[in-house]
Structure 1
Amino acid sequence: MTRRIVVVGAGYAGVVAAHRIAARSAARVTVLNEREHFVERVRLHQCAAGQQLRARRLGEVVGPRAEVLVGRVAAIEPEARNVRWSGGGAVGYDLLVLATGSVPDVGRIPGAAENACHIGDLDGAVRARGALAAAREVLVLGGGLTGIEAATELATERRSVRLVSAGPVGADLSARGREHLARVFARRGIRVHEGRAVRRVRADGVELADGARLSADVVLLGAGFTAAPLAAAAGLAVDSTGRALVDAGLRSISHPEIHAAGDAAHVVGSGGEPLRMACAVSIPAGRAAADAVLARIAGRPPEPFRFGFLLQCISLGRRDALVQPVRPDDSPRELVLTGRPAAVVKETIVRGAATAARNPVLSAFGATGAPVLGS
């Protein structure tokens, strides 16, 4: 009997899983996604800054043996093993891969949903691009990787940029990494407000926890993500951020016919803490979820997913970057690579992620002739 495998979500984890299962089995593989194009999420700060992104249709990315259905997934019904979607009715499955990713936690700061932009998805990045086009004063909230990349990308466009962070900016970097960040911020004229928690986002800026106010034409959220809500709504066991709790084979601990990968899954790393939401995790997790599904189709137990970090790569505009080697538990080593060589490494890794998404084994992911994304 032909197995029906449904992959919900077509980010990095989803397309890797779908392509691998379809290429290595006779299963009928269906991908459900709200968009018809693959979105390189790690480039959305570039989109917000006004740069054009290119993309390929999902049919090209997941390969000819996987079916792609474009529409919004309304619900997953584990008891019936159905996925309800806006395109018409329900799609049944024998096994499901949940790869719905994460969304900006706009409710975390009062007023953010109404008064701030974000770059957590393509729609948000496109709206931010429109708001930023005429902005001269920009406030970026968040001192992690997303906030840093957004602030430095925007500062290259001759805007006045301030970065506000409740804790130290680049807290997970080595001392050398933080020193390079400080030099880049100074060179780009980025004003940094560390240790300043935001109480409320207003139409004209932010109000800080100490009562001070910072004005801005645009406030951009660069921190705070939570899992997409489908897992929790379906009744799966989830953590406090909505990520599905999974075993070593990436199977839901409450619904073993469902595997989860990428930002949708709560996976404990080598240091005993949940792996952070990142492209670096999503691609190998998508591959591991696919291999687990393939093992189950073949009647074998899935192999445990093992993962260790190697690098943190942060773009600092188009001509600078910071490559921070890390230990498998994501703690920083002291050595860093900076400047133009780091920018080349960062761009190579980003392009490699797109290549792996299109074909986890061998592929060249060129953008020539591809449509402009978000136009």
Structure 2
Amino acid sequence: MTDILVLGAGYTGTAAAIRAAVRTRRLGGRVTLVNASPRFTERLRLHQTAAGARLADHALEDVVAGTGIEFVLGRVAALDAGRHEVRLEDGRVLGYDKLVYALGTVTDDSVPGVAEHAHTFDDHQRAVRLAERLDALRTGTVVVAGGGLTGIEAATELAEAHPHLHVVLLSRGRPGAMMGERARAYLEAAMERLGIEVRAGVEVTKVLPDAVELAGGELVHSDATLWTTGTKGLPVAAGSGLTLDARGRIVVDSALRSVSHPDVYAVGDAAAVSQRFGVLHGTCQGGIPTGLHAADSLTATLRGRTPKPFRFGYVHQPLSLGRKDAVIQFTRPDDSPRRAFLKGRAAILYKETVSSSPLTTYKLLKRGLVPVALFSLTAGPGA
């Protein structure tokens, strides 16, 4: 038997576990999936949870049922890559022959006051706490720090769900700077329509209980602050002995194996994956494809074959603007914007299609199939 341990049951880890279980079943593979929560969390929809939406609740044991995967409920406390051991917070120790690290990243809380006073989207419960805080406010100001896709989606969702609250979006650069001019102009008009106050070119230096402090000392009042400005690797990775990059991500080779410990595969946001255009940035587009590729690389290794190199190209930047609007910026494989984009109802339909629940994908994976849509996320010869 080969003990395959998968840490983290988000989009990527769950896909990797199911794929590995199906592909290695006849090779003696025995897959164990570890997660801190018994439920499957759709992180792409946490901004909806924060706005008060009640999403479907899926038990992870049900999601992986029929695959032979053993589900272990527990939070990872430490990983010793040299000893091939994982220790959980309750003291249990799990050994492995092969490991897939899919614990993702957490909010970078290095700015003073973020950990104590800001809300984040690190997990479902944190999004629920923000929803409860906003429901308790009859009037007030909500500050969203960060002008990337997460910050924009959160700001528009909260402004639409709570029109009695004043939403302020703070950003170092122009919100949506990664998009083309026409798509960015559309999202700016949407934010203006929703009454969002956008302050670009500012830097938050401190988060206080009732305000955020900007560089230069200005205070912006806040009854609730949401922090979306960046992520970092977990302390588990830092203490594992694995080679990491400056952001705490595990550095991997073309097969998605750790460059220092080849029995460890890293996927999703937790991995520093190099392509010809640079290192992948955290995105849902790259998550499941890396999980599937790691499982395939692991399977090839067990068969004594050389794993194929991972190749990936971006396709789009899908962006919700509340429940009634959206904009989709189509991109080149390196994520630079093309001329084409969608807006309004067409964009809503497109966004809901590509960002729909992955449960259908997992059902297909259990049958040994790969959804055709995922092939569009891997770069072709010209990427």
Question: What interval of TM-score do these two structures reach, taking the shorter chain for normalisation?
Answer: over 0.9
Structure 1 residue 139 corresponds to structure 2 residue 111: no
The change in CA–CA distance for 1:326 and 1:201 in structure 2 (over 3 A counts) is: same
Is 2:354 aligned against 1:355?
no
- Which residue of the other structure, out of 39, 61, 72, is the alignment partner of 2:41? 39
Instruction: Tell me, yes or no, if the aligned pair for 2:63 and 2:359 is still in contact at 8 Å.
Output: no
Give the alignment of 1:1-375 within 5 angstroms: 2-26=1-25, 27-64=29-66, 65-87=68-90, 89-107=92-110, 109-135=111-137, 136-157=140-161, 158=163, 159-271=165-277, 273-351=278-356, 353-357=358-362, 359-360=364-365, 361=369
Question: Match of 2:380?
Answer: none
The Cα offsets for residues 327-367 of structure 1, whole Å up to 9 and x where unpaired, read as 0000011221011211111111111544324543369xxxx
* Secondary structure in 2 matching 1:324: strand
Cross-structure match for 2:376 = none
Distance in 2 of aligned mates of 1:151 and 1:36: 29
CA distance, structure 1, for counterparts of residue 349 and residue 234 of structure 2: 32
Q: Is the Cα–Cα contact under 8 Å of residues 19 and 63 in structure 1 kept in the other structure?
A: no
Query: What is the match of residue 367 of structure 1?
Result: none
Letter in 2 for 1:100: L
Closer/same/farther in 2, CA of residues 106 and 244 from structure 1, 3 Å limit:
same
Change (3 A) 1:56 1:274: same
1:86–1:200 distance in 2 versus 1, CA, 3 Å: closer
Aligned partner of residue 86 in structure 2, secondary structure: strand
SS class of match (1:342): helix
Q: Which has the larger displacement, 155-164 or 118-127?
A: 118-127
Q: Deviations over 1:125-144 (max 9, x none)?
A: 12211222123311100000
Q: 1:120 to 1:86 in 2, by over 3 A?
A: closer
Q: Distance in 1 between matches of 2:346 and 2:370?
A: 25
Report sequence identity in percent.
Answer: 45
- How far is 1:79 from its partner? 2.2
| Inter-partner Cα distance in structure 2 for 1:222 and 1:322 | 20
Unaligned runs of 5+ in 1: 364-375
Deviation, 1:243, is 0.5
Distance 1:274 1:117, change over 3 A: same
Assess if the C-alpha contact under 8 Å between 1:16 and 1:359 holds in 2.
no
The alpha carbon displacement at 1:55 in A equals 2.7
In structure 2, C-alpha distance between the alignment counterparts of 1:362 and 1:54, rounded to whole Å? 24
SS state of the match for residue 32, structure 1? strand
CA contact (8 A) 2:100 2:267 kept: yes
Q: Deviations over 1:88-126 (max 9, x none)?
A: 52111110000011111122x211111111123212212
Cα deviation for residue 323 of structure 1 reads 0.7
Partners of 1:147 and 1:302 lie apart in 2 by 37
Q: Distance in 2 between matches of 1:92 and 1:16?
A: 21
RMSD over equivalenced CA pairs, Å: 1.5
Q: Deviations for 1:307-341, whole angstroms, at most 9, x for unmatched residues?
A: 00001101111111111100000001122101121
* 1:55-104 deviations in Å (ceiling 9; x for gaps): 32112223421110001112112222111123552111110000011111
- Aligned-partner SS, 2:58: coil
Q: Alignment length, in residue pairs?
A: 360
**Aligned mates of 2:364, 2:210 — CA distance in 1:** 45
TM-score (norm 2): 0.91
| Structure 2 unmatched ranges of 5 or more | 372-383
Asked if 2 retains the 8 angstrom alpha-carbon contact of 1:103 and 1:121, the reply is: no
- Asked if 1 retains the 8 angstrom alpha-carbon contact of 2:23 and 2:296, the reply is no
1:369 counterpart residue number: none
Counterpart code for 2:361 = A
Q: Which stretch shows the higher mean deviation, 131-140 or 152-161?
A: 131-140
